[in-house]
Amino acid sequence: MASLPERATHQQTRTFNQQLVLRAVYDRNAISRADVARATGLTRTSVSELVASLLTDGLLEETGRGPSTGGKAPILLRVRAAGRHLIGIDLGEAEFTGAVVDLRGTILRSQKIPLNGRDGDEALALVFALIDELVASNGTSPVLGVGVGAPGIVDPRTGTIRWGVHLGWTDVPLGRMIEERYGIPAVVANDSHAAALAELTFGLASRPNNLVVVRVGRGIGAGLIINGQPFHGDGSGAGEIGHARTTESNERCRCGRIGCLETVASMRAMVAAACAVNPAVTDDATLVDVFRSGRDPKVHEVVLDGGTVLGRAIGALIATLNITQILLVGPAAKLGDEWLNAVRVAASTAALEQLATETTIDLGADHEDIVLLGASALLMNTELGLSLAR
């Protein structure tokens, strides 16, 4: 017979209530103590004590007075953006990017290190070199921890990169290694899941309970938010749609198989296919330029074909999950509305009409640092209890 859970200790209860207060202030940005009490259900006395502690700890600050309702105008509170700094890392396929980020998602300093084909232990050394530089440049604000977003299959519970094909990594316990080296908390997430967290925390005006964010760059992945929390799947591989066989293409994927979605619909694949018909297309930027200019029908066809294949894969997500808000992010989002429309049309024909009609597919935030911001958001959630859903 399973044992009953122990009652929460006084410290656990206080920590939980402190996180409630911090979350209430964070979501509203300027709020009085009385309104915090109403929002959290805590007594005014408890709120005053908890706020005093958070002010002393530098996480909250007072910011003027609000309107009076007949008595003394209340003092308003907000989360102090510089109360903690976060280090966000994006282990991209061409370069590693890192930044010092404040609690409002503002990037204060950033640094890039080209990968130049390095993998294995050499790539790991680059991660530590990047973090070293960011820690050294941080200044006086306490560092909350390090958040990392990486392509591949990542177990966020242990901070282990189970499979990072472009780095030659298998079962690398990156989170534990960072914590042991720097003595601060670390979280590691799949890059598409990190992008979804960035949209949820910093990008959207209202935070939906359910959300799909499809990131299309050199690879393709989907970040899934279900009931306000990231959904990783039993083996941490949920959303790995880039390696699902969705096309009759005979192109061999980086994973070793043929016919993967990435072989047709990723930016890597579209650049290669466009370059074959127009040598002026050499990278993401030139693909976007030639496509949006409309001056090459063959390049146009390559991009729209990629969008169509992607749309069919998204149609399968709609049919499986019935999540009605889907955002497309990453370098491919710069292809714009015509590419987006190709995705929408294909998705609507691949899913049940009623479900497709209820679903919106839009472009997400145009932010090249979306992955490291999302990893920072996950760190805020795990360390400060700042909820990812309203």
The pLDDT value given to residue 35: 93
Q: Is the pLDDT confidence value at 9 over 50?
A: yes
Confidence at 28, pLDDT banded by 50, 70, 90? confident
Distance, in Å, from the CA atom of 153 to the CA atom of 163, rounded to the nearest integer, reads 5
Higher pLDDT, 224 or 208: 224
Q: Select the highest-mean-pLDDT range: 2-11, 196-205, 244-253, 288-297.
A: 288-297
Average pLDDT, the chain: 89
The pLDDT value given to residue 3: 44
* 211 close to 196: Cβ distance less than 8 angstroms: yes
Higher pLDDT, 56 or 10: 56
Write down the H helix ranges in the chain: 10-28, 33-40, 44-56, 120-136, 174-182, 191-198, 262-265, 267-277, 284-293, 297-321, 337-350, 353-357, 370-384
Distance, in Å, from the CA atom of 300 to the CA atom of 289, rounded to the nearest integer, reads 11
Tell me what the mean pLDDT of segment 140-161 comes to.
Answer: 92
Higher pLDDT, 390 or 186: 186
Length of the chain, please? 390
Cα–Cα–Cα angle for 146, 96, 313, nearest 5°?
95
Distance, in Å, from the CA atom of 94 to the CA atom of 84, rounded to the nearest integer, reads 30
| Residue 366 amino acid letter | D
Tell me what the mean pLDDT of segment 154-172 comes to.
Answer: 89
Q: Provide φ and ψ at 325, rounded to 5°.
A: -125, 115
Tell me what the mean pLDDT of segment 43-55 comes to.
Answer: 94
Long-range contacts of 234-240 (CB under 8 A, 24+ apart): 235/153, 236/153, 236/154, 236/155, 236/156, 236/157, 236/162, 236/190, 237/153, 239/190, 239/192, 239/193, 240/153
The pLDDT value given to residue 387: 61
Confidence at 1, pLDDT banded by 50, 70, 90? very low
Distance, in Å, from the CA atom of 117 to the CA atom of 95, rounded to the nearest integer, reads 9
Closest by CA to 179, choosing from 153, 143, 151, is 143
Confidence at 366, pLDDT banded by 50, 70, 90? low
Distance, in Å, from the CA atom of 139 to the CA atom of 296, rounded to the nearest integer, reads 50
Distances (CA, A) of 85 to 3, 32, 327: 40, 25, 28
Tokens matching residue 116: 């130049």
pTM: 0.83
The pLDDT value given to residue 4: 40
Confidence at 17, pLDDT banded by 50, 70, 90? very high
Distance, in Å, from the CA atom of 29 to the CA atom of 256, rounded to the nearest integer, reads 49
Confidence at 291, pLDDT banded by 50, 70, 90? very high
Tell me what the mean pLDDT of segment 335-351 comes to.
Answer: 95
pLDDT tens readout for residues 70-94: 678 889 999 999 999 999 999 988 8
Q: Is the pLDDT confidence value at 2 over 50?
A: no
Confidence at 8, pLDDT banded by 50, 70, 90? low
**pLDDT over 70 for what percent of the chain?**
95
Q: Is the pLDDT confidence value at 23 over 60?
A: yes
* 132 close to 121: Cβ distance less than 8 angstroms: no
The pLDDT value given to residue 151: 87
Q: Is the pLDDT confidence value at 147 over 90?
A: yes
Q: Is the pLDDT confidence value at 255 over 80?
A: no
Residue 175 CB partners (closer than 8 Å, separation 6+): 148, 158, 159, 160, 186, 187, 188
Confidence at 327, pLDDT banded by 50, 70, 90? very high
| Residue 186 amino acid letter | A
Distance, in Å, from the CA atom of 57 to the CA atom of 384, rounded to the nearest integer, reads 12
